[in-house]
Amino acid sequence: MALSPPPDQDIVVVGATGDLSARKLLPALYNLSHEGLLPGHGRIVGAAPVDLEQAGFTEFARHAVESFSRNRPTRSAMAVFLRRLQFVRLDPAAKLTDLRTALTRERRLLYLAVPPSAFAPLITDLGAAGLAEGTSLIIEKPFGHDLSSARKLNDTIHSVLPEQCVFRIDHYLGKETVQNLLVFRFGNSIFERVWDRDAISRVEITVAESLGVEQRGEFYEQTGAIRDIVQNHLFQVLAITAMEPPVSFDAEALRNEKIKVLQALQPLDPGHVVRGQYTAGTVDGKRVRGYRHEPGVAPRSETETFAAMRMSIDSWRWSGVPFFLRTGKRMAMRDTRIVITFRDVPLHLFAGTDVDDVDCNRMIIRIQPDEGISVSFVAKVPGAEVRVQPVSMNFAYGASFKTSPPEAYERLRHDALDGDHTLFIREDEVERGWAVVQPVLDHPGAVVQYRAGSWGPDEADALLAPLPWHDPGEGGSP
């Protein structure tokens, strides 16, 4: 179904002069404006506690769009977008009452693009300013620091806003390939019929980044890979991969099935978790420094930049199937993928030939950057001898649809403006995710080292032994 403009409302970005706003939020709003998918009436209000005039914010927004928009901006579309902008300098003592004069509608969507430590105070100030009525709230991850703080944050939110007005954003759920996983599974009986423990031997989910912590060392010291990626991104992808068919594709039906997976996900055993930290190495042909030499990082830091784990789902569909999750910074390349390894054939009819040595069938769902799906199988090499090799059937978004998928923030911002919670995280999902990782937060164990530009520490391989992790380019697959 084609998207349509949401109801009239103002859009407020608190933290509008920050990096997230420049790289993601303002370009997403421009593209929605360009495609006619913003509310017909209402301002885009940028708010921040900085001394900036309206002209300065307009120029900031123009530069952000020109630098980071997926579509090259046109003069006319840019002019329409910039006319809607209004900047408000926030005075901390005013407790958001200074927003009132900039608002033009009784309904508004407020985006907190601020550090996590500012979430609770700003939400409290929202209520104190009398702005709760008519407000919907988008809040960025991380949603808390552990289970206790997540519960406290949810309590603070609900003291001001009801759950139906809260949109906890995880941009992975806005990625076209993650959404397509639902269609792929439940729209194709050929795959859904083998999507269980009878046919699948293991599942791997990888979120690898080639970048380091950049200028976010101080933030990362308080977070680490488990809090930053595992508890939210990885668990959300896992839940969609493992969930049962929902009764419909409305928001609550979908989220009900996701929480069932998280409830069946067994709490992490610290003995099945490897925490790593990158040292100096080479990435994309360039020499890079180690984590402990990044700005804002303690010289003897024990914060993990890599985490790998073996997990199990205590359900009828997945009993006995191990799920292996890993994420890391300064890895060999940027790559997010789901690897489904199917069980070996029950009888090797070609014993004594090299067919007996072939790898298992695999399905690889590439979430980024080369979005697509591939299935590997064994084929006979032409010739008189019985020789085989793995080959792939490959679906690529760019080649099939002749277009690149829209940015996740565009889809998610439009859905929030339209009041659609389907691709957002519910409070019970947040709290269950923290409950699963809490044993490792309480007993983290030692951090091991891995070279920047590698696929992580050797200790992570022991989780899957004797089989290795399936990295890009292996087994005849992308």
63 is catalytic: no
Residue 24 annotated as part of some ligand binding site: no
Annotation-wise, does 63 bind a ligand? no
Token pair 């784990």 is found at 309
Q: Does 293 count as an annotated binding residue?
A: no
Helical packing angle, 427-442 and 147-158, nearest 10°: 150
Which residue in the block uniquely carries the two structure tokens 């397509």?
Answer: 180
DSSP 42-61: --EEEEESS---HHHHHHHH
Distances from the Cα of 117 to the Cα of 129, 143, 145, 227, 283, angstroms: 20, 10, 10, 15, 33
- Flag whether 146 is marked binding: no
DSSP 8-state symbol, 68: H
Task: Of 375, 407, 378, give the one whose Cα is nearest residue 177.
Answer: 407
- For 275-311, give the DSSP string: EEEEESEEETTEEE--GGGSTT--TT----SEEEEEE
Q: Angle at Cα 106 formed by Cα 104 and Cα 111, nearest 5°?
A: 80
Nearest alpha-carbon partner for 39 in 400, 416, 436:
416
Give the DSSP H or E segment for 254: helix 251-264
Is 286 a known ligand-binding residue? no
The answer to whether 109 and 11 have CB atoms below 8 angstroms apart is: yes
Pull the structure tokens for residue 105: 């509608």
Instruction: Please check if 171 is assigned to a binding site.
Output: yes
Set 34, 41, 158, 233: catalytic member: 233
For residue 142, cis peptide bond before it (omega within 30 degrees of 0): yes
Annotated binding site: 141, 171, 175, 209, 228, 329
The set of catalytic residues is 233
Annotated binding site for NADP(+): 141
Annotated binding site for substrate: 171, 175, 209, 228, 329
